[in-house]
Each structure stands twice: as structure tokens, then as C-alpha cells.
Amino acid sequence: MKIILASASERRQELLGRLIEKFDIIVSDFDESKVLFEGSVDRYVKDVALGKALDIKNKLNDDAIIISADTIVTLDNKILGKPKDKEDAFKILKSLQGRKHSVYSGIVVINTAKNVIKQESLATEVTFSEISDDEIIEYIKTGEPLDKAGAYGIQGIGGIFVKEIKGCYYNVVGLSLNKLKFMLEEVK
């Protein structure tokens, strides 16, 4: 059966390639702003991932296994999305420095032939070291933080700021391979 990744994320595509040899990419048009954050980060990431997966399911004529995910960074139960601009990236990184924050992902796998939907979420705790304003400015100049939730990429240059991690590393990158492996086994 065809496997579809409902994501434009190059990081997710690379990670999925470690688990599955052949898959298609169909980018979801789901409007994430339709999902309201009502205090539960766990519920929020699962709902956004489900919205993306169902968007793709509704566009298909053939059966497939659809994989979608959503990853967010939270600090003090507030969602830190992708920065709007360089100033916002500075503000986000400054708020994270020297502190613990959580990275949550929602993963949804749908087997359209069996009409089975599996939803999971997980959280990873990340602690940043102290970072100087100059270090933040130099990091922003690389452009790396501008398209990432929480304004950093753990798998890239942003990894130098990470003092400690508790939980799944790949969750912070954008797709927990271990969690997804078991989810795929459950829907087949």
C-alpha cells in the first residue's frame, strides 16, 4: 500500500526515509489556525496533526497509509511558534536561555483501507545553557532559527545551546522514529 507523508518538512522527510524506503509526499493545506489552543498542549498537537492527515485523506482516491505530525515548543505552557522575523527570533531565544522548555509532537497515522486512525503525542524536555546576546545575534544571522518552532534546530547549529535533553531526540527534530515505528505496526 502506498505511504504518504503529509508534510513539506525536509527534516521529517529525511527522518521517515530512515524508517521507510519508499513514500510519497503530499503537503496538507489544512489551516492550523482552525485548531484552538485550550490549555492542553497534548490535545492541541494531536488535533493539528489529525487535521493535516484528514485533509490528505479527503483528497485521495486510492487507499494509503497517511502519516502526519505537528511539533511545537512550549515554555511556561505558552506555545512558541516559528518566529515572525529576526526580532521575534531574538525574543524567543532570549526567553529559552538558561531554562527548561518542552517540545511536543502529535503524530497521526491513518490506514484508509481499514479506516483506522492512530493518534499519539509525546513530549521531550530540553534545557538550554546560558546564551549571550551576541551568540543569539550570530545564530540568527545563519537564518536557521527563522523557520523552526522555538527558533532553533537541535540537529543544526542550534544544538550548541542545548545543555540537556530528557526524552526522544528525534521528537525535537520533528518526528519520533520510535513512536512512529510502533504506530505503523498497529495500523497495518
Structural domains of the chain, ranges and CATH numbers in brackets: 2-187 (3.90.950.10)
Kind of pairing between the strands at 64-75 and 100-111: antiparallel
The position carrying cell 544544538 is 159
Is the pLDDT score of 107 beyond 90? Answer: yes
CB 100 within 8 A of CB 125: yes
Active-site residue 31, yes or no?
A: no
pLDDT, residue 19, reads: 96
pLDDT, residue 170, reads: 97
- Nearest to 30, CA basis, from 63, 59, 64: 59
Question: pLDDT tens for residues 22-62?
Answer: 999 999 999 999 999 998 999 999 999 999 999 999 999 99
DSSP state of 39: S
Q: How many CB atoms neighbour CB 183 within 10 A?
A: 18
Q: Which of 29, 70, 76, 133 is catalytic?
A: 70
CA distance 128 to 188: 39
pLDDT band at 99 (very low <50, low <70, confident <90, very high): very high
pLDDT, residue 5, reads: 98
The pTM score is 0.93
